[in-house]
Amino acid sequence: VKATSRKPTVKDVAKAAGVSPMTVSNVINASGRVSSDTAIRVRQVIEELGYRQSTAARRFRLSKQWMIGLLVVDDNLSFLGDPFTTEVITGLTNYLTGIGYSLTLRGIRPSQFDTHDLFHGIETDAMVLLLSGSSEERLRQLKSLQSFKVPIVLIQEPVPPLVTSVACIRQDDFGGGSAIALHLCATGARDFWMLVPRAVWPAFEARRAGFENAMSAVPGARLRVLDCEDERYETIVAVVSEALGHSRPEAIVGLNDQMAIAAMHAAQRLGLSVPDELQVTGFNGLAFWQFSTPHLTTVLSQGHEIGYRAGAELIAALGSGRFKQKDVVLPVSLRLAESTRHMG
Amino acid sequence: VKATSRKPTVKDVAKAAGVSPMTVSNVINASGRVSSDTAIRVRQVIEELGYRQSTAARRFRLSKQWMIGLLVVDDNLSFLGDPFTTEVITGLTNYLTGIGYSLTLRGIRPSQFDTHDLFHGIETDAMVLLLSGSSEERLRQLKSLQSFKVPIVLIQEPVPPLVTSVACIRQDDFGGGSAIALHLCATGARDFWMLVPRAVWPAFEARRAGFENAMSAVPGARLRVLDCEDERYETIVAVVSEALGHSRPEAIVGLNDQMAIAAMHAAQRLGLSVPDELQVTGFNGLAFWQFSTPHLTTVLSQGHEIGYRAGAELIAALGSGRFKQKDVVLPVSLRLAESTRHMG
DNA sequence: CTGAAAGCGCTTACAG
DNA sequence: CTGAAAGCGCTTACAG
């Protein structure tokens, strides 16, 4: 028996093995309803012919894709730029690869959301969403994505009220913000600046809220917000340099490590010593914190774990028809380094 | 006409519009063979019924997936860790999203390559590969992946001889390595150390070869290779600190920015001033170079462009049946910063 | 310009 | 334990 030029199908295998196509199917899918003699023969023919199941046909027949879609909505063309996002994707991929699912990646700008034909050519069993923009925008994005009628996991933001078939995996950014505030206050600092970029990310809002909440319990603590056009290194350096020309805080709080390092550099260039004259804190602790001098006190994010859990919850929901938990919150931890002063 | 519970198909649309299914198909796919009256009516019904084409059925019928597979072979569980890889993926996604293709991501360890059932459930029109390991290993990986019989683009490594249907997109890492060597030699330095991690990446080999080649033309120039178990910050700091205990080079060359920054820190901790007593150079210039003090002289990589081109070449090859060019090499440029000494 | 027929490769009932 | 029939939703020839 010689293979023809076209790819062999179940039919070819069946004929060569002297059985029917559905017996071949049963062998492949290990339904257990086939005698071992037949199974062995069929497997041998499969080997000989180099038969490989058509995934496309299976997907079509069973209307199941074994595929999860990841949509990142971001104004930045370089949407994977943040190492946190990267970590999430890695965790998700690692989970999905392990159970034979694929991940499909798509990045889109918020402005393209309505016009662009997002819906063309995407067909996944479930979706993972990294949204951005104001909360109204994000709600609109979410509602529109729900028309796919697949389970959805939101990363790093709580599920809005009255929304079904959606769960959320996030970390305790509020708690992380609180931990930073408490640590800084414990060093005796009271005068804080916070770098807040214009682009709205839910996690940033939570970090800020956590910081303000913890700070509000400390008498005399004051927070000044430095608005930044974007998160770029040059932007942050410019904003901080300008502000330091007029007054001096005791600590600058970055909502992520990149911004914190830029602020640190701006201060150091003006001759300020970190942490003696100015303390600096970051957030995430993934790739950057070690690259500054001194190393950055930061909050350890669990991007990989968040991605991994997102995959696990989604697959579980696919099986049972519903999410076990609507809101999964992972803990974070403060990691002290030399950019802040330590007690005892 | 009220939509039933199940999703409407071409058949439903056809019936409601009083035409045949293939007319509906022609309208959707804009074949231009439909009278505008009919087309308008059909489009209206599509709207009313909320009909959406089944991608799975189309993929099956046309045996085309509109999907590109990206496979990263890396021993690191966190395979997206390197910002260069991240840039490549972003560029690829941006290109593919623009033309209605999806990207499917899979990460795998070299050790899993044979045993793990890589082939299950992947069905893509083409593949982009980021391989790792020795050149024999990579060749084996490539050959095994060729059994999919789809066009393949290799990132950052040349196509081995006698391999067909494979093209390569890379940057001029050899030239980048040369540029670093020439710049350092021009500052008067002759005594170099290079950090070389155990894991073999083709781009690293090219950078090293380029450096050695340019250096060999300069009388008195010497290179010492510091072997490192891996690329981690702590590992590099340990290796460099140890070596600096015995002797002092004039410059340390990192094969990427991460390693360069770690080396810089090790030197600074021993009281060496950069660049006066020791110069340091990196490679990539993507996210890290600004985060060190002083900023890092580095070679600018074009990860985004490489990913984008990879997508473009692949889609072109899908159309014409062959690659226009087997080996696309993008230029790199040296970016000077304060970690090296500059001439007037 | 429009339609009736056939089939892509697989699997789910349903019989034997 | 095994098989003949039917169909998932779409589109490509082929006729009218």
% pLDDT > 90, chain A: 58
Q: Specify the higher pLDDT residue, B254 or B6.
A: B254
- In this prediction, residue B3 carries a pLDDT of 41
Cβ of A64 near strand C (under 7 Å)? The reply is no
- As given in the structure block, the two tokens for residue A149 are 């009628």
- Is the Cα dihedral B115, B139, A47, A14 positive or negative? positive
List bases, strand C, within 7 Å of protein CB.
1-5, 7-13
List bases, strand D, within 7 Å of protein CB.
1-5, 7-13
CA of B199 vs chain A CAs: smallest distance (Å): 19
- In this prediction, residue A297 carries a pLDDT of 97
Q: Kindly state the DSSP code that residue A246 receives in the 8-state scheme.
A: T
- In this prediction, residue B324 carries a pLDDT of 92
A93:B100 CB<8 A? no
Give every CB contact of residue B306 below 8 A, 6+ residues apart in sequence. B87, B88, B91, B155, B156, B169, B170, B171, B330
A-chain CB neighbours of B117 within 8 Å are: 100
CA distances from A300 to A289, A310, A311, A335 (A): 10, 18, 21, 7
Q: What is the mean pLDDT of chain B?
A: 89
Instruction: Tell me how crowded residue B132 is: count the other CB atoms within 10 A of its CB.
Output: 20
B102:A120 CB<8 A? no
- As given in the structure block, the two tokens for residue A28 are 């492949």
Tell me the pLDDT band of B1, cut-offs 50, 70 and 90.
very low
- Cβ-7 Å neighbors of strand D: A 18-23, 26, 33-35, 37-38, 60-61, 63; B 6-7, 9-11, 21-22, 25, 28-29, 53-54, 57-58, 60-62
> By C-alpha distance, which of A268, A255, A244 is closest to A198?
A255
- In this prediction, residue B200 carries a pLDDT of 78
A156-160, A300-304, B25-29: which is most confident: A300-304
Tell me the pLDDT band of A287, cut-offs 50, 70 and 90.
confident
**Best residue of A145, A293, A339 to probe chain B, by most B CBs closer than 10 Å:** A293
Q: Specify the higher pLDDT residue, A182 or B120.
A: A182
* Alpha-carbon torsion, ordered A180, A182, A187, A193, to 10 deg: 50
Lowest mean pLDDT among A138-142, A242-246, A276-280, B3-7: B3-7
- In this prediction, residue A120 carries a pLDDT of 67
| Residue A102, H or E segment | strand A102-108
- In this prediction, residue A3 carries a pLDDT of 41
Give every CB contact of residue B126 below 8 A, 6+ residues apart in sequence. B68, B69, B150, B151, B152, B153, B314, B315, B317, B318
Cβ of A35 near strand C (under 7 Å)? The reply is no
- As given in the structure block, the two tokens for residue B62 are 């046309």
SS3 A280: strand
Residue B173 has pLDDT above 50, yes or no: yes
**Best residue of B62, B105, B308 to probe chain A, by most A CBs closer than 10 Å:** B105
Measure, in angstroms, how far nucleotide C3 C1' is from residue B40 CA: 19
Q: What is the mean pLDDT of residues A28-41?
A: 79
Bridge partners of B105, per DSSP, are: A103, B70
Tell me the pLDDT band of B4, cut-offs 50, 70 and 90.
very low
- In this prediction, residue B131 carries a pLDDT of 87
Instruction: Tell me how crowded residue A229 is: count the other CB atoms within 10 A of its CB.
Output: 12
Measured between CA atoms, the residue of chain B closest to residue A122 is: B55
- As given in the structure block, the two tokens for residue A338 are 């030399």
**Best residue of B92, B102, B122, B259 to probe chain A, by most A CBs closer than 10 Å:** B102
Q: Provide the terminal-to-terminal Cα distance of chain A, rounded to the nearest Å.
A: 81
**C-alpha–C-alpha distance, residues A149 and B222, integer Å:** 64
The three-point CA angle A96-A69-A312 to 5° equals 35
Cross-chain CB nearest to B90 (options A55, A65, A79): A79
Which residue gives the smallest C-alpha to C1' distance to D9?
B57
pLDDT tens readout for residues A129-157: 998 878 888 898 899 888 888 999 999 98
